[in-house]
Each structure stands twice: as C-alpha cells, then as structure tokens.
Amino acid sequence: MARPKIVPEQKRIYRYVIRLNEKEQQKFMAAVEVSGVEVYKLLRTKLLTGRFPEAKIARIDLGLYLELKMIGVNVNQIAKQVNAGKLPFEIRKILLQLQEQQHLIIKVLLHDRDSEDR
C-alpha cells in the first residue's frame, strides 16, 4: 500500500544547513536529549513557536514522581483514618500541608520550563 500523497501546501521543500562549533554542538545535543525528540523536530518547533518542545521526564525525575505518588496514597489513607475518627483530628492540618507540598513538587517536576539545562 502506497503512502498517501502530501498536499502541496504541506509539503516541505526548503532545506537549510547550519554549522556549529564543538561547544554549540554539545549544548544543542543536550537540548535534543532533554527534549526527547528528533533534531529536526527540535529545530522546527523552536524556530516556529519560539519555545523548545516539552521535555521528557528524566529517569530520576520519573522515579521521584512515582515515589511521590506512593507517598500521596499513604497520606490519603491516613486522612481517611482521621476522618473516620481513628486518629486525632489535629493530624489533618499536617496532612493537608503534606499534600500541598506534594502537588507543588509534582508540578515542578512535570512543568519545569525555566530549567537552565535547556
């Protein structure tokens, strides 16, 4: 089965070549690795939108994210015990603070757009 034809307006016919020195190449390849996309996609996205593609989550960040989710499950279980009257109600304030911190950390992990690594 043949590939569908591309509409002439969508066909990419222009090609550009750039040259980088060693330091620029290392920085560029680091950005490619962080974003997790192909070189051409990184260049096209940055050029046309002014932003880098959303970064993939690093393995260490993914592990940390999963740990935080497990901690959140435990916090929710404790909150359930507090609400059922099996634990002192004063603990509820601490649990809410823990949940707020957890959400903040997860937000930073998933939406870190100000990283100097990119």
List the domain boundaries for the chain: 19-56, 59-110
1-33 CB burial, b ≥16 within 10 A, e <16: eeeeeeeeeeeeeeeeeeeeeeeeeeeeeebbe
Tell me the pLDDT tens digit for each residue of 11-43.
Answer: 989 998 999 999 999 988 888 887 888 889 889
Find the helix or strand (DSSP H, E) in which 84 lies: none
Q: CA triplet 52, 56, 58: central angle to 5 degrees?
A: 125
Tell me the pLDDT tens digit for each residue of 48-94.
Answer: 998 888 776 666 667 777 888 888 888 888 888 888 888 887 888 88
Tell me the pLDDT tens digit for each residue of 91-118.
Answer: 888 888 888 888 887 777 666 555 554 4
Is 109 in contact with 57 (CB distance < 8 Å)?
A: yes
Amino acid at the residue 9: E
Instruction: Provide the pLDDT for residue 117.
Output: 47
